[in-house]
Amino acid sequence: MVPAVAGSLLVAVTYQVMLEISFYQWTAILAGLLVLFENCFLAQSRFMLLESIQILFGLCGILCTIKSTYKTGVSSVIWLCVAAVSLGCCFSVKYSGLYTYYLALFLVGRQIWRQVGSTESTLRLALAVLWRLIVLIILPVLVYVGVFYAHLAMLPKAGPHDSVMTSAFQASLQGGLASITRGQPLHVAHGSQITLRHTHGRTCWLHSHAHVYPVRYTDQRGSSHQQQVTCYSFKDVNNWWIVKRPEQPSLAVARPPDAIRHGDIVQLLHGITSRALNSHDVAAPASPQSQEVSCYIDYNVSMPAQNLWRVDIVNRDSEDATWDSIRSMVRLIHVDSGSALRFSGRQLPAWGFHQHEVVADKVITHQDSIWNVEEHRYTKAEDRRERERELVSAEMIPTAVTQLTFWEKFAELQYKMIAHAPDAPHGHMFASEPPEWPLLVRSIAYWLSPNSNAQIHLIGNLITWYAATLSVLLYSVLLAVYAIRRRRACADLPIRAIQQFYDAGYIFFLGYWLHYLPYYFMDRTLFLHHYLPAYIFKILLLSYVIDHIYFILHIHEKTKPLTNVFIVCVAVWLAYVVLTFKKFSVLNYGNVNLTESDLMNLRWKDTWDFILHKKG
Amino acid sequence: MVAKKPRSISTSSNKVWWMVFAVVCGATFLTRFYKVLEPDHVCWDETHFGKMASWYINRTFFFDVHPPLGKMLIALSGKLTGYDGTFPFEKPGDKYDSARYQGMRIFCTTLGALIIPLTFLTIWEMTKSLDSTFIGTILLLCDVGFLTLNRYILLDPILLFFMSCSIYGAFKVRSLTDEGYGPFSTRMLAWQIFLGASLACTISVKFVGLFVVLFVGLRTVADLWNVLGDLQKPVSLTIKHLIGRSVTLIFIPALLYVFFFWIHLTVLSKSGNGDGFYSSGFQARLEGNSLHNASAPKLVAYGAQITLKNHRTGGGYLHSHHHLYPAGVGARQQQITTYTHKDENNRWIIKPFDRESVEGVVVVRSGELVRLTHATTGRNLHSHRERAPITAKYMQVTGYGEDGIGDANDVWKIVVSGGKDGEEVQTVRSRLMLIHYLQACVLTTTGKQLPKWGYEQQEVACNPNLRDKNALWNVEDNVFDDLPKVSFEAYASGFVERFLESHAVMFQGNAGLKPKEGEVTSQPWQWPINYRGQFFSGSAHRIYLLGNPVVWWGNLLFLVIFFIIYVVNSVREKRAEAFGTLTQDGKERMLLNAAGWCFVGWALHYVPFWAMGRVLYFHHYFPALVFSSMITGILTEYLLSSVKSYLSPELGRTMYHCVVGVVISTTVYSFYLFSPLAYGMNGPLAHEPNSTMAGLKWLESWEF
């Protein structure tokens, strides 16, 4: 519903933008019509997709920026504020909205630059720069942060993608991890049973199992043949470890609990196999430059256990901070070698069940060497009942729901969004490449009716599409010609017209490339709908170029009779655009059962893939 | 120092100029050739480029992601100085012993050393000011990283040398244009040809040379624009300049570039380890390859024994063997893979879909339904609705049936890509698609390696998306007695085809250099701040590629200063224009303009790396470093003369000389401090107190 409204409003906004630039109202109407009869905007706004909202906000922002640059005084301030809010909304919808924001910044910058060239006093100038910058930077950022605030406030419950976030983040949501961790003790102590989560990057837990490293790897290096330690991406009973002070034999938690502090030396016993986490001067299986980490098995082969680890709490507030579950980020430093326990990112082969490798790395500052306790409980002694009652009544320190401030959550969410994006799979059936977009080589199938050949595609109006591409070329040629002519001091056009020509260029031409070029440098799967924000600028450019040609024909005496011919041509072309739109709209509404020959009729390019149900 | 006018023929200042130039050259020579033959073992990437030089000398074909010129020059220098191409260059640290590596190393060092005088000339050409020139050159001269990188058998000294030639040429051409030399005058043409040739050489050493081509392109456009803006001159002058430059800067370099590839492909005439990356037609040119001088029937007929080679670069042959897919990986039927080596198990017999054999000679045509039976095991090529072993979206391809008797899922439609139905299928030439008749999917290889059970051969699967670029195959061997054989010579690709193919393979190779998950790679933001270096040689004689921090951080500071000065200056100018008071004096303008161009050069050689997905290394920053050192040199003078103009003449001159002296001596002293990084360090690492480098580990991340 919202995208549909946004899509409808787009036509009106396009009209307004064009009106700001052009001399003629007809051009604005033409631009509006072209957007109206464009299949791709129709398809995009009929579904719950973000592009049409993004484009609407973006274009509104640009419109208001233009209005603001033409006005002075209070109305200029108001328009710029509206523009800033609108642009903030635009890039809060999708990050590609940032390009629109840059365009607006550029437009305002250009206006300031013009003022610098006028004879205003320096003080006034500085003020003008200052308030514009403040409005353009503060407001969008406020909107952006506000949107995230609303997002987090409205989504307090745990959901399916929790495990992407850190333990602390998850624990601050209702349900999910919080329901497990609520009521678990806060301070890790001697005898604590814990699971250790790799904090940043891939979600996995320190893991071991009753299998040993193969004696020789495929590249003929030897291993210690001790029990494997890995990082496992799923919850498992083998993820439990017991924290133990080296000098204390009993595993039961003392009363009061003997809390582990920053700098303490501990051993970690694997819960199921009771073997201690160990590292030694043997190359790790997949990253030979680091040390192997294993659970120690005493083979009596002059390879003593080196199973002492120093707890290094990264986010401590004091030097004797306690090791808290969830909250503390720790580095485990191997005492004998000084290296840090680290997730290496490499996957082990079949003998390691394709789990991830854990090593001890000499470079201790890497962020993959940070871990945190996720689940936590105190070990109960043999005499369970008594212990249990004691623990419940006295020693158990119930934790409140972890309170992360909004800013911490915000920062984490930003980081995850940036780090997460490149994971998209490659080679999607309907993926396309940026060079294919201007000629509409591929379409995207959105929906196919299960029992007929009715289907919905994201596909553009080919006539407009080609004309728009042509207009970009034409504009570039005109730009070069005018620039060269002007360099030779030849004035072809009246000052106002040339001014308008450059204005249109800065907004539409630059806007187009600003929304299009960056995709060439993106290393991810791209689709046709990424092109739509650029395409709206292209349509505007197209109507401007038509306007400009009319104007040229009009001002020269010789060519004046041709204007009527030109108008007729445009009218015929427009009619053709409307017809094409009508023809292809069956692929946007998806309400008509198409026969095979219908589809073949619509398939104007043999690179377009429509879907046919097999007969029988 | 003497402030000089460019063309004034005052002999004393000329003498000073030559003295300074001589000092720079002498210092360059001393620093570059001191201990140049140490260590006498293979350092860092010498293992690659040395190996490639050996291959050139032995004329065996290989594959590399870089264009050939740099390696050919190394090979040539080796050949001329008596290296025989037998040293294996196996891994860094191998002792050279009796191998004559000296010639190659001295050649690279010589080119590396020439960069410094060239930079001197370039800055002089830009600013005509000896102070800027001297400071800029000294910074580059005293950079330890630059020294280290330019002393070994690597492509970088060669690349940087040609790049410096191009920059020098570009500014020489600019001066000539400004002085009004005609577009076709001998001097102009000579320099333009020099520039064009340097450009061609730069880009033929490494593809990053493209950035300097862009730089020169911008410079040329600016030149033409200036000529055009001179309303005293006719437009035809601009057009003449345009023609002259198109010929010398586009046409001649393109020819040279192709010529280098021609030498490359002609010299490497013997089969080597790079064959597998190239198509059948390409291989037919290589002596010692099984396709060289072989012959086979031109057309494929039913009943022929054929091998099918995948078209993807580095693609293997369709292969099967007596092993089944393990349990849990689709149906337990015989494995189908691609295998890059030639093997008896690559052979398939092509049959019509409904009969075991045909009478007489019936040629296979595009659009016909066929079956492929594996020659040694008698299983049919088969696909069905099961997940492929690795790529879950695709369908599994297996060997099924016994002695050629299978089921309906063994039927494939053979289609010549880009051809019409009914076209005859030709050996090598036809690009074939095999479309599964019932599942409507296309036989393809994903290029992913199968685990141990598949002997690490590559996965073959059936892709329901028929637009798969890797789904093209060609018939390579074709054994059929009843058709006349033609020599493979007929299929061998011509030079143009091979030229284009080697580019396709190189680009694919470059694109394939992606970092793996969790791998620590160098990132562009680390470079200008000299965050982390690179070990060239470990063990006893340690050499560590790291910039001189004084130079690098100074450069970084001046980049920021440049930006500020530029903005302030533009605003000031614009304001002055508005009030109609013009103030800028010529000298300052010239310096700022020169710094501006250097900044453009720096940005062109640095910013694009942010957008690159491939593996990046620290040494990619060094071309940008040349520009940023120039900026520092020029801006130092600019700033000092600005400050000087506020002081009394006496005080101003003293201050000026003091500061220049301090800058130069600090740079030289820091070079002295850090020079062991380049000349070799012994003993304990720097964080231990008794090391020779104690106290110099200024950043935690440096590893020496």
Mean pLDDT, range A80-95, rounded to an integer: 87
pLDDT-derived band at A175, boundaries 50, 70, 90: low
In this complex, is the C-beta atom of B613 within 8 Å of any C-beta atom belonging to chain A? yes
ipTM of the complex: 0.76
Instruction: Give yes or no for residue A80 having a pLDDT over 60.
Output: yes
Is the CB of B408 inside 8 Å of chain A's CB atoms?
Answer: no
> At residue A608, does pLDDT exceed 80?
no
Q: How close is the nearest chain A Cα to the Cα of B579, in Å?
A: 6
Highest mean pLDDT among A199-203, B283-287, B636-640: B636-640
**Residue B582 pLDDT grade (very low, low, confident, very high; cuts 50, 70, 90):** low
**From start to end of A149-226, where are the E strands?**
192-198, 205-212
**Mean pLDDT computed over B457-477:** 84
Provide the pLDDT for residue A275.
83
B233, B465, B510: best to mutate for the A interface, most A CBs within 10 A: B465
B104: its two tokens: 């190659």
Residue B254: name the closest of B203, B316, B309 by CA.
B203
Would residue B572 be called left, alpha or beta, if left means φ above 0 and alpha means ψ between -120 and 50 degrees?
alpha
Number of CB atoms found within 10 A of residue B176's CB: 18
What tens digit of pLDDT does each residue of B86-107 get?
Answer: 888 877 777 887 778 888 888 9
Three-class SS of residue A191?
coil
Query: Of residues A200 and B513, which shows the higher confidence score?
Result: A200
B229 touches chain A (CB under 8 A): yes
> How far, in whole angstroms, is CA A529 from its chain's centroid?
16
Question: Are the beta carbons of B569 and B639 closer than 8 angstroms?
Answer: no
Q: What is the mean pLDDT of chain A?
A: 80
The one-letter code for the residue type at B64 is D
- In tens, the pLDDT along A512-570 reads 999 998 888 877 777 888 888 899 899 999 999 998 888 888 888 888 888 888 999 99
Q: How far apart are CA B290 and CA B307, in angstroms?
A: 13
pLDDT of B475-501, one tens digit each?
888 888 888 887 777 777 778 888 888
Structure tokens belonging to residue B114: 């020439």
Q: Which residues contact B619 (CB under 8 A, 6 or more apart)?
A: B149, B156, B534, B545
Residue B567 forms contact with A (CB below 8 Å): no
Interchain pair A118, B578: CB under 8 A: yes
- Which DSSP letter does residue A240 get? E
For residue B586, give every residue at least 6 positions away whose Cβ sits within 8 Å of its Cβ, in sequence order, or none: none
Question: Smallest Cβ distance to A350: which of B451, B577, B700?
Answer: B451
Residues of A engaging B, defined by a Cβ cutoff of 8 Å: 113, 116-119, 122, 218, 343-346, 349-350, 363, 365-366, 368, 429, 484, 487-489, 521, 523, 609
Q: Taking CB atoms and an 8 Å limit, are A119 and B578 in contact across chains?
A: yes
Q: For residue B518, which residues of chain A lie inside 8 Å, CB to CB? A: 343-346, 368
Its pTM stands at 0.78
Are B517 and A346 a contacting pair at CB < 8 A? yes
The answer to whether the Cα torsion of B80, B86, B91, B97 is positive or negative is negative
DSSP string, A5-62: HHHHHHHHHHHHHHHHH-S-HHHHHHHHHHHHT-HHHHHHHTSS-SHHHHHHHHHHHH
The beta-carbon neighbor of B571 closest among A116, A366, A429 is A116
Distance CA A49, CA A353 (A): 40
> Which position has the token pair 């091979």?
B498
**Could you tell me if B269 and B441 are in contact, meaning their C-beta atoms sit under 8 angstroms apart?**
no
Residues of A with CB below 8 A from B228's CB?
A: 484, 487-488
CA distances to A16, B211, B349, B523, B528 from B607, rounded to whole Å, are: 38, 10, 54, 12, 11
Contact B205, B623 (CB under 8 A): no
Residue A121: pLDDT over 90: no
Q: Within 13 A of B379's CA, how many CA atoms are on the CB side? A: 20
Q: Which residues pair with B434 in a beta bridge?
A: B414
Does the pLDDT value for residue B1 go beyond 50? no
pLDDT at B517 over 70: no
Measured in angstroms, the CA of B100 and the nearest CA of chain A are apart by 32
**Which amino acid is located at A476 in the chain?**
S
Torsion of CA B342, B71, B509, B522, to 10 degrees: 140
With beta carbons less than 8 A apart as the criterion, state whether B474 and B493 touch: no
pLDDT on residue B589: 83
Give per-residue pLDDT as tens, B54-89.
Answer: 888 888 888 888 898 999 999 999 889 888 888 888
Structure tokens at A299: 């083979």
Indicate yes or no: CB of B575 within 8 angstroms of CB of A487.
Answer: no
Q: Give per-residue pLDDT as tens, B676-687.
A: 888 877 766 666
Q: Quick one: tokens of B91?
A: 């891994």
Q: Per-residue DSSP letters for B404-452?
A: TB--GGG-EEEEETTS-TTPBPBTTT--EEEEETTT--EEEEEEEEP-G
Closest chain A CA to residue B466 = A429
Minimum-distance CB partner of B518 among A368, A521, A609: A368
Residues B69, B76: contact at Cβ < 8 Å? no
Q: How close, in Å, is residue A583 to chain B by CA atoms?
A: 27
Give the model confidence (pLDDT) of B301-359 as tens digits.
888 888 888 887 667 888 888 888 887 777 888 889 888 777 888 889 888 888 877 88
Structure tokens of A164? Answer: 């992407």
Average pLDDT over residues A431-454: 77
Number of CB pairs, chain A paired with chain B, less than 8 A apart: 43
Q: In this structure, are strands A340-347 and A356-361 parallel, antiparallel, or unpaired?
A: antiparallel
As a whole number of angstroms, the distance between CA A446 and CA A455 comes to 8
pLDDT reading at A402 higher than 60: no
Can you give the pLDDT at residue B8?
A: 46
CB contact under 8 A, B611 and A346: no
Nearest to A98 by CA among A43, A52, A129, A144: A144
SS3 A282: strand
Taking chain A, what is the end-to-end CA distance rounded to the nearest angstrom?
Answer: 37
Q: Which of A356 and B541 is assigned the larger pLDDT?
A: A356
Please give the C-alpha separations between residue A126 and each of A58, A260, B571, in angstroms, as whole numbers.
28, 57, 12
Q: Comparing C-alpha atoms, which of A456, A440, A462 is closest to residue A589?
A: A456
The helix or strand, by DSSP H or E, that contains position B241, with its residue range, turns out to be: helix B235-246
In which band, very low, low, confident or very high, does the pLDDT at A160 lie, cut at 50, 70 and 90? low
Residue-level pLDDT at B2: 38
Contact B40, B96 (CB under 8 A): yes
Question: What letter represents residue A540's amino acid?
Answer: L
Spatial contact of B462 and B444, defined as CB atoms under 8 Å apart: yes
The two most distant CA atoms of chain A are separated, in Å, by 108
